[in-house]
Structure 1
């Protein structure tokens, strides 16, 4: 099955007896990231539903337990903020099963480091107050709960009105593209919003089979978006505030919705049977 090729992706027009799923909007699927990068947050903000991909393998080199913060007065001054995490099953441990080794200490360090970096921002008091759900999530032992809470707080501050579901509560078959297509279909979404990383490996057939369009998503690299793929969205939020950042995110969300899909929506006869 070749990767997506715009000139060769085709689909049968045969009539299918499987009922169409309920109409849906844009779906983004992404692992829970600890105070995610601005590029990741922008993709989630552009979607109508975020499926938290929590039943795939935990990756220590990824952002599931760490975030890169930039100093308020110098975006080139960066440091990692990490949650020490134990993997009960080694490399086979799923994201949802990863366990914090020092939750109380990690909680204290998180608020301390964030305050050191951004306490001078005029937007810090509102952000500090909004952090309560994140700090409360440290009372458990799951790293994924903290990561998800940190992303939800950012989306809430930006007045995102979408819904959040977890992949562990949905049925999907193995295989990267098949899993993503099954999850998108399971919630009745008609469009999958795919980041630049996902576009490198995505295969079209599972999406074509469901009649699901795939729209590529990327962010600019100038203005507030400089460093969007490197540092946490918290840095930009503390620089420009929630109103300005929400405005920028709305612009990119509108662009995404106006972007032609790279996978057509013609439906072929394929039953959803994970």
Structure 2
């Protein structure tokens, strides 16, 4: 059984995004669908020293008619890379792995002019840090057709998938009968209560960007994704609170 997962590329997403990738045999970055503003595509939250959170945002030139793959980063009005570095240094200056995380971010930021390219590259770099070896592909490389469920079914078929793992937020609108007709098993991801680690302030927030985990624990981050599911023992189920995927 080959399990396929498909999610839009997000900017340094939360821990559950990477746990989802680890749960599938092939992961698709859904980059040829409509861009959504004020969403996870170009921003995410970090912890602050006062126990709150703050957004790191990538400025973009985009409208709601644009596809994710075509959205350009807008560096014309601010040095957003330097702003991200300043915010991280202000809040995490005593954290042991800040320099490593900053180096990864700054190197990746400098390479890209399109948001999807940045998001995918960052995700793949974080996957390597988390020892996740799941193959990835961008939907724009596969030439799928249709909309909504039909498009996802086409993508799954093109990758030889016999099982589709959905994010839990899709349970309200996905059409199981279409998947049954296609002969593809449909399951929903359950996000566990991930292990707690020391953050820069209390109370603990499990839903911030993965960059928080990397800054705080470094290479031990791979051990804090929860239990590794075995082949054939994926974790379908209901949704828990967190960043929706």
1:106 paired to 2:83: no
Indicate whether 1:169 and 2:141 are aligned. yes
Q: Secondary structure at the match of 2:208?
A: coil
Report the equivalent of 2:216. 239
Maintained 8 Å contact 1:213/1:261: no
8 Å Cα contact 2:5-2:27 kept in structure 1:
yes
Contact 1:192 1:214 in 2 (8 A): yes
Indicate if the aligned counterparts of 1:66 and 1:80 stay in contact, CA closer than 8 A: yes
Consecutive unaligned residues of structure 1, counting only runs of 5 or more, are 1-23, 263-274
1:248 paired residue number? 224
Partner of residue 94 from structure 2, selected from 116, 120, 125: 120
Alignment map for 1:184-195 (pairs within 5 Å): 184-195=156-167
CA distance in structure 2 between the partners assigned to 1:122 and 1:260 by the alignment: 33
Match of 1:92 in 2: 65
Offset at 1:236? 2.4
Deviations 1:158-186 (A, max 9, x none): 11111111111113233311111111111
The 4+ residue runs of structure 1 with deviation greater than 4 A are 259-262
Select which of 38, 52, 57 maps to 2:34: 57
Q: Does 1:48 align with 2:21?
A: no
Q: Residue 80 of structure 1 aligns to a residue in which SS?
A: strand
Q: 2:109 aligns with which of 135, 152, 159?
A: 135
Q: 1:206-255 CA deviation, whole Å, 9 max, x = no partner?
A: 32233222221121346439644x41111123333332x3223251x417
The 1-side partners of 2:235 and 2:35 are apart by: 33
Deviations 1:116-151 (A, max 9, x none): 33342222233334335522333xx21111122221
Contact 1:39 1:218 in 2 (8 A): no
Name the CA shift for 1:209/1:136 in 2 (closer, same or farther; >3 Å): farther
Structure 2: distance between partners of 1:48 and 1:250: 18
1:26 and 1:47 in contact (8 A); partners too: yes
Q: 1:183 is matched with which residue?
A: 155
TM-score by length of 1: 0.74
Equivalent-residue separation in structure 1 for 2:99 and 2:40 (angstroms) = 26
In structure 2, distance between residues paired with 1:260 and 1:246: 18
Structure 1 partner of 2:52: 77
Return 5+ residue gaps in structure 2 as ranges. 198-203, 238-245
- Secondary structure of the residue that 2:110 maps to in structure 1? helix
Rg: which structure is higher? Answer: 1
Report if aligned partners of 2:101, 2:211 keep a CA contact under 8 Å in 1. Answer: no
C-alpha spacing 1:133/1:159, structure 2 compared with 1 (3 Å):
farther
Partner Cα distance (1:179, 1:131) in 2: 32
